Structure 1
Amino acid sequence: MNVSEIKNKDRVINELLLFIRKVLVEPDINTKALDIARKHINEKNADVLIADELSATTNVKIPVEHSDADKLFLKLLRDVVRDEKALY
Structure 2
Amino acid sequence: MSGSEMQKTRVINELRSFIKKLLQDPQILEQSLVVARKHLPESSGPAVMATIANEISDTTSVHIPEDPSEHSEADKLYLELLKEVVLEEQALY
TM-score normalised according to structure 1 size: 0.89
State the percentage of identical aligned residues: 49
CA distance in 1, matches of 2:29, 2:12: 19
Gaps of 5+ in 2: none
The answer on 1:77 being equivalent to 2:79 is no
Per the alignment, in what secondary structure is the counterpart of residue 55 of structure 1? helix
CA distance in 2, matches of 1:71, 1:62: 9
| Pairing 1:46-65 to 2, within 5 Å after superposition | 46-63=48-65, 64=67, 65=70
The answer on 1:30 being equivalent to 2:35 is no
Which deviates more, 5-14 or 47-56?
A: 5-14
CA RMSD of aligned residues (A): 1.4
CA distance in 2, matches of 1:85, 1:51: 20
CA distance in 2, matches of 1:26, 1:16: 15
CA distance in 2, matches of 1:54, 1:14: 21
Per the alignment, in what secondary structure is the counterpart of residue 49 of structure 2? helix
Gaps of 5+ in 1: none
Q: Deviations over 1:23-52 (max 9, x none)?
A: 111111010000111112134412211110
What amino acid does structure 1 have at the position aligned with 2:22?
Answer: V
Moved over 3 A (4+): none
